Amino acid sequence: MFLGLLSPARTRSAGSPAGPLRAAAASAVVAGLVLLGGAVPAEAASTYSAPLRTAVKSLPVAAENNAGYDRDRQFGTWNDADRDCRNTRAEVLQNETRASLTFTTAKRCTVRSGRWVTSWDGRTHTSATTVQIDHTVPVHEAWGSGARYWTKAKRVAFYNDLGDSRTLSAQTSALNSAKQARGPEQWMPPRHRCGYVGEWVAVKIRWGLKVDSAEKAALTRIAASCPNVGLTVRKA
């Protein structure tokens, strides 16, 4: 059986009494398709499921166009969608900590400390100042891969995506700065490379983003040396 790179949404809405039965049935169908090595057709559901290498092959190819990119104007910044005074950065730190958090003020809005083990290097951090929140697919890359055609609201939603934990993660500041806006064809983390490729592909599928030819070649090459795990993505 495939080991799934699954990532449920961080928040779920309550459903009707029949909801769990429908969800269980849908999950069974998805699981069956994964085991058969097939992908769930996009028209059949808002969830895509396939082995990693199949998912890489499915990514549409187009030349990247970064003309007109302006991060702040087009994507905004961290927001506070649930109005609890903690912005997206604080929410990611809260979701990924392995110890209780402390905050910089009594209002408990900005995180001071916790315990984070960053996947790219296996380092343990206790101060929030030593980690940055990484967009797995950088916003510059997203812009050139299709986000230039989105509405501003959709770009802001991408920037602050807490619905799939593969979109954003806490990483060692120096490594995140080294990555900048580079894709897998130009930069890979020192550790967790197979997981990183799966996360990159998942975000591209979730947001309907394209890949350029060099990027797809790199993803194909790296995925070929990784376990062909199941990849399940709920589309945004």
- The 10s digit of each residue's pLDDT in 70-101 is 999 999 999 999 999 999 999 999 999 999 99
Q: Which of 158, 204, 233, 199 is nearest to 59 (CA)?
A: 204
Q: Above 50 in pLDDT, residue 11?
A: no
The fraction of the chain above a pLDDT of 70, given in percent, is 81
* Structure confidence at residue 161 (pLDDT): 98
* Structure confidence at residue 25 (pLDDT): 40
Q: What is the mean pLDDT of residues 145-167?
A: 98
Cα-Cα-Cα-Cα dihedral sign, residues 123, 126, 131, 135: positive
Residues 184-202 have pLDDT tens digits of: 999 999 999 999 999 999 9
Contacts of 160 (CB under 8 A, 6+ apart): 76, 78, 79, 81, 88
Q: Above 50 in pLDDT, residue 35?
A: no
Q: Above 70 in pLDDT, residue 46?
A: yes
Q: Where are the alpha helices (DSSP H) in the chain?
A: 19-35, 52-58, 71-75, 88-96, 139-144, 152-159, 173-179, 193-206, 213-224
Q: Above 50 in pLDDT, residue 24?
A: no
* Structure confidence at residue 34 (pLDDT): 37
The mean predicted confidence, pLDDT, of the chain is: 87
Q: What is the mean pLDDT of residues 202-218?
A: 98
Listed by start position, the domains of the chain span: 4-234
d(CA 50, CA 118): 27
* Structure confidence at residue 45 (pLDDT): 59
Is the CB of residue 113 less than 8 Å from the CB of residue 102? yes
d(CA 160, CA 142): 13
Q: Does 129 or 21 have the greater pLDDT score?
A: 129
Q: Two tokens at 117?
A: 């083990």
* Structure confidence at residue 36 (pLDDT): 37
Residue 5 pLDDT class (50, 70, 90 cuts) = low
Q: Which of 203, 208, 190 is nearest to 231 (CA)?
A: 203
* Structure confidence at residue 197 (pLDDT): 98
* Structure confidence at residue 99 (pLDDT): 98
